Structure 1
Amino acid sequence: MLSVGVKENESQIKDIFNKYDFGNNIEIKEEKIDDRFFLTFHSKGGKEDFYSIISLFISEIIIEYYLKEIILRDVFMKCNNFSKDEKIEIVQIAYKNLCNENEFIKEKELIFKEVNDYISINDLLIVDGFVSFRLKSMDKIINEIIKKSIDEFSAVKEYREFINILQYFIDIQEPKIDLINVVILDDEYKLYDKENNLIDNDFFSDIISELSDDGINEDDIFISSIITIAPQRLIIHVNEENKDKEIVDILQSVFIDKVKFCKGCNLCNIKVPLNKEK
């Protein structure tokens, strides 16, 4: 027998409870005592499966109603280098990742292990008391989740600032050309004018010569080249396999309503010969 007591809203706990298939080998009794809701589990089968499924259930309660609350509190109390809106975004990233079964796997496994170890030798677990006094890895788990969420937020923030800088350069420049076609072939990029003539790379020699080789890759030079031209319109010719490339996202974010995707044209028909060019 194992009794699990929670101080949270009964209906919310039942929402989690209803997601689990406890099987026919576990009898469950519900009871309300004072301000706590209790679920008492009786095993009619193997102990290993019994403890595993109950541990998963308790772990989800801890993550959903206790971990989230502590993350919110710690971010707002300890992350003083961020604005209120930034703190909210960090918390949202943490919540999103907690709901993703592929994120924070080690942290979730730690919670599961400690819960499983505890209920294997105890027949009563009060969740809020367990979290406050028994969950030894809690501080480490919280710190790791917040750190990863801050890192992810910082990367997003840097990307936004990068896009804003590129948009600024576009806004202050006079368009030098009406239209350019961007053809993306795997790891090779080509630019064509509106007449489908290849734009010679020498066109960009002035700006490229000013760029240091350190930290500048082909994507950087290609984007800089397009920014230098500052076209009024941009048509991107790319197959579905390459549509998720970072460079495509950047061009869409910078040029916004100036960008269109080609759905098939004569220029697209010469993609294979272009790929063989050396």
Structure 2
Amino acid sequence: MIYEFKIAMTHGDKGFLSDFEDRLRWIKDKGYNVFSRVECDEEANIDHVSLVLKGKKDDGTFRQEDIVHIFKHQMSEALAEHIVNDWQTRLLWKEINRNCRSLSPADKEKVFLKANSFLKKCNDNESLSMLINFGRKNRMAHRLFEHINCHNNLVVEGFVNFCIKEYNREIRFAVELAREELRNEQEYNDFVNLLRHFVDTQVPKLFEINLMMYDTGLFYLWDGEGVEIEENYLNYYFEDMCLDEISLDDVLISILITIAPRRIVLHRIGELPASESVEMIKKVFNEKISVCDGCERCRRMEAEKSGHK
């Protein structure tokens, strides 16, 4: 029995052959001979690969058809692995160069990194992300097996471009998502720079602001003399807060920008809350921020917090 399948693939893609051979150890252990022949067309940058299965007659346990079926199945699995590992980068760049022409080379690189990350880690839950990636590869292997069952040759590039439309849709969606995220980041950075310019050019209403934040979203503000000041500014936002049209984080940032202090002292009980408002404050006020290393008020509030537990 001799079965042969021919594959045309990009020159130098050697990972597929080593993976394929690893998958066929069981067949080799059964006494079958598996080997490959590679003819290189350097001008076309194509390798013509022949995968050959030679074997004995039925051994009473597995028919020749069974062995060929397993051979085809392992071939489709190895090809699916090859496409995901070796073609994903090419397909992403192809899509980026086609639909992100206006972006600079640096921004295109950012889009690529984001899109590649989206495809590899498509969910914050690591187990779910692995399951989604397995499903993607499994669908591709199934489509490859259908092709291998009906043909005796495969052009990998043609298969990638025309026969796995769902995967190509995922590539396009990942690039669109990455470009949108990059655009949002750039708009956010432009907004931060605008706020920084506003703060730097404003006459400060108070030279120093002390800020204590809680992970509940509550905050306390007082000036350099220890006088609490938030009530003078919160009244302006009170109606919007009652209607849930503005959050406490937004109120805090608005107050700080309105006052435009030259110095902000961050007081903390434990770690600073990981919130958008904290990140925004750090970016807008940057070098104007210092962190209290433990004043009397911090110790008092820490004691009050411990007393409420």
**TM-score between the two structures when normalised by the length of structure 2:** 0.67
Distance between the aligned counterparts of 2:71 and 2:222, measured in 1?
A: 65
Q: After TM superposition, give the deviation of residue 121 of structure 1 in Å.
A: 6.8
Secondary structure of 1:96's match? helix
Which residue of structure 1 lines up, in the alignment, with residue 103 of structure 2? Answer: 83
Give the deviation of 1:102 after TM superposition.
3.6
Aligned counterpart, 1:118: 144
Q: Deviation string for 1:71-128 (max 9, x for gaps)?
A: 3223332346x43354443233212333436478757733431223423672765532
User: 2:184 & 2:88 partners in 1: Cα distance?
Assistant: 24
Match of 1:7 among 7, 10, 16: 10
Residue 153 of structure 1 corresponds to which residue in structure 2? 182
Q: Once the 2 structures are TM-superposed, how far is the Cα of residue 130 of structure 1 from its aligned partner? A: 2.1
Where 1:164 maps in the other structure, the secondary structure is helix
Corresponding residue for residue 210 of structure 2 = 181
- For residues 163-195 of structure 1, the C-alpha deviation after alignment (integer angstroms, 9 at most, x for no partner) is 122112211112333332221111211123335
Larger radius of gyration: 2
Local SS of the residue matching 2:203: coil
Distance in 2 of aligned mates of 1:232 and 1:275? 33
Alpha-carbon distance, 1:224 to partner: 0.8
SS at match of 1:267: helix
Ranges in structure 1 where 5+ consecutive residues have no aligned partner: none
Give the fraction of aligned pairs with identical amino acids, expressed as a percent: 22
Superimposed CA distance per residue, residues 250-272 of structure 1 (whole angstroms, 9 cap, x where no aligned partner): 11111112223344333332146
SS class of match (2:221) = strand
Q: Residue 66 in 1 paired to residue 84 in 2?
A: no
Distance 1:74 1:51, change over 3 A: same
User: Quick one: which amino acid aligns to residue 217 of structure 1?
Assistant: S
CA 1:78–1:234: 2 relative to 1, 3 Å: same
Distance across 2 between alignment mates of 1:235 and 1:250? 15
Contact 2:213 2:272 in 1 (8 A): yes
Query: Structure 1 CA distance, aligned partners of 2:122 and 2:51?
Result: 27
The answer to whether structure 1 residue 109 and structure 2 residue 109 are counterparts is: no
Tell me which residue corresponds to 1:227: 257
One-letter identity of the residue aligned with 1:113: R
Structure 2 unmatched ranges of 5 or more: 29-33, 41-45, 54-61
Q: Which moved more, 1:141-150 or 1:249-258?
A: 141-150
Instruction: Tell me if 1:245 matches 2:275.
Output: yes
Which residue is equivalent to 1:273?
A: 304
1:33 to 35, 39, 42: 39
Tell me if the contact between 1:186 and 1:242 (Cα under 8 Å) persists in the aligned partners. yes
SS of the counterpart of 1:174? Answer: coil
Contact kept, 8 Å, 1:183 with 1:189, in 2: the verdict is yes
Distance 2:282 2:36 in 1: 54
Deviation at 1:231, TM superposition (A): 1.9
What CA distance in whole angstroms lies between the structure 2 residues aligned with 1:15 and 1:241?
52
Between Structure 1 and Structure 2, how many residues are aligned?
A: 271
Partner SS state of residue 220, structure 1: helix
